[in-house]
């Protein structure tokens, strides 16, 4: 039996989450992944508010183990306006979390949008529902709702997108827009078409090299504070891990992470390994990422996606899909024994199933689908570790 195992965790969105802390505990998790979503992006998280939420979690018999996420303000990503003060605020939040004993901090550096899907109710053969990213729907939204040039799109792709768009009624167009822009769970910003266009223009002269340089500058200012606090910093991959809306991406591949770790070589400067985000790109070798960056992986999201021929994908069952969850978990079991660590892991996303089909749940974060995923992942790890 292996001594070091995943720390079973569950993302919880706060007192208004339809999945209660009691539900979380019944599902088999012992740790909570959480953030203070009510505090505006860029403001300091006060120690008092952190401890108040921590007390609520403790009273439920759980432990607030990981912060997901401390959001990075757009002005920091662009290094404009009041970004220096915003970085000081970020440093103070890290210190305040450490004062409460919370040391595992996750963040992302995706411009404007956090994570993107085009369908929140994709019906599966068993009548459950999943999240989906449909490339044609995205192209249609880009060209005919945002009215932006489809840089890099072929004429055939534009024609297919137009045919798709012409078949949508007004309600369907509104639903597509809301799905992409209204904000998914964990997102800190909400946009309409006009405000989204304006925000995109701010990135007009920012390519991958510029955004990466801004991220490295941010890390050089943040990592020393993280080190002093005895904490870790985990960068979540871009989701999906390829360019959208002509915006740059800097956390989509093994090479992206290697550049960041080489630029700021600290053991606390690491990654959140999200198998679903990274797995949505066919040329990502997930097993190689674990082997090469294992000691820098401070947090793990496990889910699987089913890739489609045109680059679209949908959320698959946790043990199925286009990547081998067996091999990924096997590598993590070996990694944890080698480095004598137990890494926090949460089942990421889940199908909407059974009674949850009758409820208004956070997309991807219903209770029963994640319970199923956690049970499968716990069983897989148990078998591999024995």
One digit per residue, pLDDT tens: the chain, 386 residues?
678 999 999 999 999 999 999 999 999 999 999 999 999 999 999 999 999 999 999 999 999 999 999 999 999 999 999 999 999 999 999 999 999 999 999 999 999 998 899 999 999 999 999 999 999 999 999 999 999 988 889 999 999 999 999 999 999 999 999 999 876 676 666 788 999 999 999 999 999 999 999 999 999 999 999 999 999 999 999 999 999 999 999 999 999 999 999 999 999 999 999 999 999 999 999 999 999 999 999 999 999 999 999 999 999 999 999 999 999 999 999 999 999 999 999 999 999 999 999 999 999 999 999 999 999 999 999 999 99
Give the β-pairing of 119-123 and 129-133: antiparallel
What CATH number is given to the structural domain containing 246?
Answer: 3.20.20.150
Task: Report the catalytic residues.
Answer: 236, 274, 301, 348-349, 365
Residue 172 placed within a domain: yes
Instruction: Report the C-alpha gap between 377 and 318 in whole angstroms.
Output: 8
Residue 314 placed within a domain: yes
Residue 278 placed within a domain: yes
Residue 1 placed within a domain: no
Residue 2 placed within a domain: no
Residue 164 placed within a domain: yes
Angle, in degrees to the nearest 10, between helices 325-339 and 367-385: 60
Look at the chain and report how many structural domains it folds into.
1
**For residue 324, what pLDDT is reported?**
95
pTM for the model: 0.97
Q: Tell me which residue range forms the domain holding 346.
A: 7-385
Strand ranges, E, within 35-160:
63-68, 104-107, 119-123, 129-133
**For residue 333, what pLDDT is reported?**
98
* φ, ψ of residue 340 in degrees (nearest 5): 55, 55
């Amino acid at each position: 039996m292996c001594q070091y195992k995943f720390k079973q965790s569950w993302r919880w969105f706060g007192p208004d989450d339809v999945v209660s802390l009691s539900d979380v505990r019944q599902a088999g998790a012992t740790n909570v992944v959480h953030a203070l979503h009510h505090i505006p992006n860029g403001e300091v998280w006060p120690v008092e508010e952190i401890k108040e939420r921590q007390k609520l979690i403790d009273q439920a018999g759980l432990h607030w183990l990981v912060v997901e996420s401390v959001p990075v303000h757009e002005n920091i990503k662009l290094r404009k306006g009041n970004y220096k003060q915003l970085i000081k605020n970020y440093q103070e939040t890290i210190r305040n979390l450490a004062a409460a004993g919370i040391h595992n901090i996750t963040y992302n550096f995706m411009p404007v949008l956090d994570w993107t899907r085009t369908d929140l109710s994709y019906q599966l053969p068993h009548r459950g529902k999943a999240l989906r990213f449909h490339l044609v729907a995205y192209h249609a939204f880009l060209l005919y709702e945002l009215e932006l040039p489809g840089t890099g799109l072929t004429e055939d792709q534009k024609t297919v997108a137009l045919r798709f768009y012409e078949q949508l009624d007004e309600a369907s167009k509104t639903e597509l827009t809301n799905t992409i822009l209204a904000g998914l769970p964990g997102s800190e910003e909400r946009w309409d078409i006009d405000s989204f266009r304006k925000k995109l223009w701010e990135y007009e002269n920012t390519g991958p090299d510029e955004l990466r340089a801004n991220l490295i500058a941010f890390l050089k200012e943040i990592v020393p504070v993280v080190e002093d606090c005895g904490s870790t910093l985990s960068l979540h991959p871009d989701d999906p891990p390829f360019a959208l809306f002509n915006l740059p991406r800097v956390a989509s591949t093994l090479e992206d992470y290697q550049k960041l770790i080489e630029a700021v070589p600290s053991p606390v400067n690491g990654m959140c390994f999200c198998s679903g985000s990274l797995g949505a790109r066919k040329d990502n070798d997930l097993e190689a990422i674990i082997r090469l960056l294992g000691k820098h992986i401070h947090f793990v999201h496990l889910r699987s996606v089913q890739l489609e021929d045109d680059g679209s994908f949908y959320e698959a069952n946790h043990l199925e899909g286009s990547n081998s969850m067996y091999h990924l978990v096997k590598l993590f079991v070996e990694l944890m024994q080698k480095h004598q660590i137990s890494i926090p892991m949460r089942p990421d996303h889940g199908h909407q199933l059974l009674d949850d089909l009758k409820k208004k749940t956070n997309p991807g974060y219903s209770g029963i689908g994640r319970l199923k995923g956690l049970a499968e992942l716990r069983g897989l790890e148990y078998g591999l570790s024995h």
